[in-house]
């Protein structure tokens, strides 16, 4: 037993944490308006050090959250000209990236890949698409099982995007151009008269770009209005909307041969980019109401409606033949239409009794999600009426062979309605001067009404009771240091993270469960510099597998275990030297045989044993600044089927990538910057979806940005 395991056996601690340090009785309550306003921009020397984690109820200071949390600030996003969540998590320990079949973001949270554990302002944003950062104030990564805070899912962690809020004067324009005919424009304008509500804000983006990959293009546009109102001194209302459209070519990368990605130029496209379109359109509206009921009592209600229209089609590579001369190409498409209606109400209050100070929150959550899925298989009729693949030369892997898309016997065609009713309670108790205990419980009823149109409209109805208890112990000997121990839990119903995998065979099975044991420490080395450490074990249980002795039955087994350690450093080393650094060690393996190819002891896919990153920004003088970044990733497996044959034992080699930037402040609100990614032009492979879908990293690329603040 590891030393940290002995410590965690002494206290049972669960995820989902409260609203920061418990004040003594003389503390004044925070002004109501601060509950909903975005995190304030850091001051001098604090570009990369955020102050508050907003995803948790009431917000919480980073030092006081007893779980591993990394926050990427707007300043870091701008300094690196980040364009996606894949860029964001490069500097987040414990989170990696999978390919997502070239049509969506797929992050890997402590070995568990997810396309649904995404939040926006603490509410679900769980459809498969690529998100932009144009209207985002900061991105928060909360790692570990988070069921008590966010309900089903969140098995290895969640990503929360914090939107820019109305509440001040702002007028900014950013123009960017770069390699491969990339053009981007974004604007951020807002007003507030004499510092008093009402206030409004409007963010917009337009993006049009090519790619280092042949035939791959990207176009997207978005607009996000926000309005803030006050009714008297006690009530604050925020209304936000967004229209966002993203379209691009679905790029599944290259195949593999002899245990490694194929050795081709990084530009070579396998399949047909002209017949691999993908698009997503998101329309959303969020209403937030905060009301003060007194000095120690407040009420918050948030309602979000979002519609998602998603389609993708891909003509993509499969396996390479034994001679390494030909590669198979297949095709399919899928459409998803989802409508989310979510409502959360939280009552937060404090009280004192028996010499203890309590900060409590009681919440109710209601949700309804309607999902329509349809998938069609591509048939290469020139080969035969039933051929689902065609062979093409590895040396010329594009194909224009005729393809007919129609439903196969196993293609999804379903309509699902998911309903959630959840109640939660959480208490943060101050015990003496240095100890805090956080207790929480979330009880969730998850109902699924699933209609499978393939089987004549057969209907499956399930109901799961998902209990997520919680307890945390925090020791804070000084105002600048805290240590904690935690045990987080989460559940995943059989409908899956995308609510589309329910079958008659698995409908009666209990949900998968995840448990995260963790100890950690956070230390404000100085007011503008914070270091973090976390050591954890994450276990996955109740995985359904086919009974080897009876293929008509399913068995539940322990699925996987990940052990790891994370280090983080953010803030200012010197007044003119800002840093964001991360390092992680992770070891993840299957705990049992789960099929003929998923064997006990296999390492988890897309989980390198070691990763590290370091970004530096140095101000040379008031006008000039330099940035330098290093990111290192150890070798990792492309798929979890890596204990079977050499063909499935495909490794993505490790790599080191160097990025750089030059910043120039011309004064009068005008700034310019040059970002150079992959400065040394190293060849590498960044992610994979399987052993035959591997994405080459981009060669050296340049981006020039001009930013004007009026």
Per-residue pLDDT, 553: 79
* DSSP-assigned letter for residue 603: B
| Average of per-residue pLDDT across 484-498 | 94
Residues 6+ apart with CB under 8 A from 259: 646, 647, 649, 650, 651
Q: Which domain, by its residues, includes 52?
A: 3-709
Per-residue pLDDT, 454: 86
Closest CA to 562 of 607, 595, 599: 607
Element (H, E) at 3: helix 3-10
Alpha helices in 102-210 (DSSP H): 147-150
Alpha helices in 562-670 (DSSP H): none
* DSSP-assigned letter for residue 152: S
Residue 541 in this model has a pLDDT that exceeds 50: yes
Domain count, the chain: 1
pLDDT band at 52 (very low <50, low <70, confident <90, very high): confident
Per-residue pLDDT, 24: 37
Cβ-based neighbour number of residue 150 at 10 Å: 27
Cα distance between residue 84 and residue 325, in whole Å? 35
C-alpha torsion 660→569→44→191, nearest 10? 90
- Considering 131-140, 346-355, 501-510, the range whose residues carry the highest mean pLDDT is 131-140
Cα distance between residue 98 and residue 115, in whole Å? 10
Cα distance between residue 531 and residue 166, in whole Å? 32
pLDDT band at 46 (very low <50, low <70, confident <90, very high): low
Cα distance between residue 131 and residue 163, in whole Å? 12
Cα distance between residue 93 and residue 583, in whole Å? 6
| Average of per-residue pLDDT across 455-479 | 92
Cα distance between residue 483 and residue 359, in whole Å? 19
pLDDT in tens, 179-202: 999 999 999 999 998 888 999 999
pLDDT band at 51 (very low <50, low <70, confident <90, very high): confident
Closest CA to 39 of 20, 23, 18, 60: 60
| Average of per-residue pLDDT across 406-415 | 94
Per-residue pLDDT, 15: 34
**What DSSP string describes 528-566?**
TEEEEEEEEEEEEE-EEEEETTEEEEEEEE--EEEEEEE
| Average of per-residue pLDDT across 327-352 | 97
pLDDT in tens, 427-453: 999 999 999 999 999 999 999 999 999
Residue 108 in this model has a pLDDT that exceeds 90: yes
Residue 36 in this model has a pLDDT that exceeds 50: no
| Average pLDDT over all residues of the chain | 91
Cα distance between residue 612 and residue 610, in whole Å? 7
Per-residue pLDDT, 84: 95
Per-residue pLDDT, 366: 98
Cβ-based neighbour number of residue 669 at 10 Å: 13
Specify the CATH number for the domain of residue 618.
2.40.170.20
pLDDT band at 8 (very low <50, low <70, confident <90, very high): very low
pLDDT in tens, 607-650: 999 999 999 999 999 999 999 999 999 999 999 988 877 777 99
Closest CA to 362 of 287, 424, 281: 424
pLDDT in tens, 205-263: 999 999 999 999 999 999 999 999 999 999 999 999 999 999 999 999 999 999 999 99
Residue 557 φ/ψ, nearest 5 degrees: -135, 165
* Residue 332: CA count within 13 A, CB half-sphere: 16
Per-residue pLDDT, 13: 31
């Amino acid at each position: 037993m590891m030393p940290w395991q002995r410590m965690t056996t002494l206290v049972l601690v669960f995820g989902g944490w409260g609203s920061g340090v418990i004040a003594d009785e003389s503390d004044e309550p925070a002004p109501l308006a601060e509950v909903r306003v975005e995190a304030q921009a850091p001051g001098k020397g604090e570009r990369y050090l955020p102050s508050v984690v907003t995803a948790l109820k009431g917000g919480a200071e980073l030092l006081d959250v007893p779980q591993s949390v990394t926050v990427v600030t707007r300043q870091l996003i701008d300094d690196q000209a980040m364009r996606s969540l894949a860029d964001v998590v490069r500097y987040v320990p414990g989170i990696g990236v999978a390919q997502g079949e070239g049509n969506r973001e797929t992050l890997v949270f402590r070995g568990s890949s997810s396309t649904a554990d995404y939040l926006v302002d603490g509410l679900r944003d769980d459809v498969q698409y690529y998100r932009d950062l144009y209207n985002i104030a900061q991105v928060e990564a909360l790692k570990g099982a988070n069921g008590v805070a966010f309900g089903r899912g969140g098995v290895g962690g969640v990503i929360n995007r914090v939107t820019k809020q109305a509440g001040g004067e702002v007028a900014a324009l950013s123009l960017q151009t770069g390699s491969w005919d990339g053009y981007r424009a974004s604007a951020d304008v807002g007003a507030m008269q004499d510092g008093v509500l009402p206030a409004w804000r409007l963010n917009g983006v337009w993006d049009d770009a090519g790619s280092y990959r042949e035939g791959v293009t990207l176009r997207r546009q978005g607009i996000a209005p926000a309005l803030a109102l006050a009714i008297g001194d006690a009530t604050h209302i925020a209304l936000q909307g967004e229209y966002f459209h993203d379209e691009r070519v679905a790029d599944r990368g290259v195949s593999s041969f002899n245990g490694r990605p194929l050795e081709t130029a990084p530009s070579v496209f396998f399949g047909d980019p002209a017949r691999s379109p993908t698009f997503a359109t998101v329309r959303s509206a969020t209403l937030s109401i905060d009301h003060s009921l007194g000095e120690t009592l407040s009420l918050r209600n948030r309602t979000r409606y979002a519609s998602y229209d998603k389609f993708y089609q891909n003509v993509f590579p499969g396996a390479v033949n034994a001679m390494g001369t030909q590669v198979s190409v297949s095709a399919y498409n899928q459409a998803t239409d989802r409508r989310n209606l979510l409502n959360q109400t939280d009552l937060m209050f404090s009280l004192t009794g028996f010499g203890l100070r309590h900060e409590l929150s009681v919440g109710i959550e209601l949700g309804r999600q309607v999902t329509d899925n349809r998938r069609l298989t591509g048939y290469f009729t020139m080969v035969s009426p039933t051929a689902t693949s065609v062979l093409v030369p590895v040396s010329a892997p594009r194909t224009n062979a005729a393809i007919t898309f129609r439903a196969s016997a196993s293609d999804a065609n379903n309509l699902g309605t998911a309903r959630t009713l959840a109640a939660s309670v959480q208490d943060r108790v101050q015990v003496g001067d240095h100890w805090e205990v956080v207790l929480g419980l979330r009880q969730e009823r998850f109902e699924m009404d699933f209609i499978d149109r393939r089987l004549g409209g057969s209907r499956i109805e399930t109901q799961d009771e998902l209990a997520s208890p919680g307890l945390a112990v925090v020791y804070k000997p000084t105002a600048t240091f805290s240590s904690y121990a935690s045990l987080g839990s989460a559940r995943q119903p059989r409908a899956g993270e995308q609510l589309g995998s329910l079958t008659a065979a698995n409908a009666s099975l209990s949900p998968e469960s995840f448990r995260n044991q963790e100890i950690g420490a956070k230390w404000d080395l100085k007011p503008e510099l914070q270091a973090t450490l976390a050591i954890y074990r994450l276990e996955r249980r109740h995985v359904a597998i086919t009974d080897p002795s009876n293929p008509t039955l399913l068995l539940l087994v322990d699925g996987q275990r990940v052990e790891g350690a994370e280090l983080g450093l953010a803030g200012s080393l010197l007044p003119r030297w800002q840093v964001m650094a991360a390092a992680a060690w992770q070891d993840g393996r299957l705990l049992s045989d789960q099929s003929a190819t998923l064997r006990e002891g296999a390492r988890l896919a897309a989980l390198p044993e070691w990763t590290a990153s370091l970004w530096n920004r140095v101000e040379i003088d008031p006008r000039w600044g330099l940035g330098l970044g290093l990111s290192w990733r150890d070798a990792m497996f492309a798929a979890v089927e890596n204990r079977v044959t050499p063909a499935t034992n495909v490794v993505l080699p490790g790599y080191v990538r160097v990025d750089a930037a030059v910043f120039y402040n011309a004064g009068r609100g005008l700034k310019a910057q040059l970002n150079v990614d992959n400065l040394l032009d190293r060849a590498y492979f960044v992610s994979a979806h399987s052993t035959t879908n591997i994405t080459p990293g981009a060669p050296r690329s340049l981006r020039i940005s001009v930013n004007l603040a009026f």
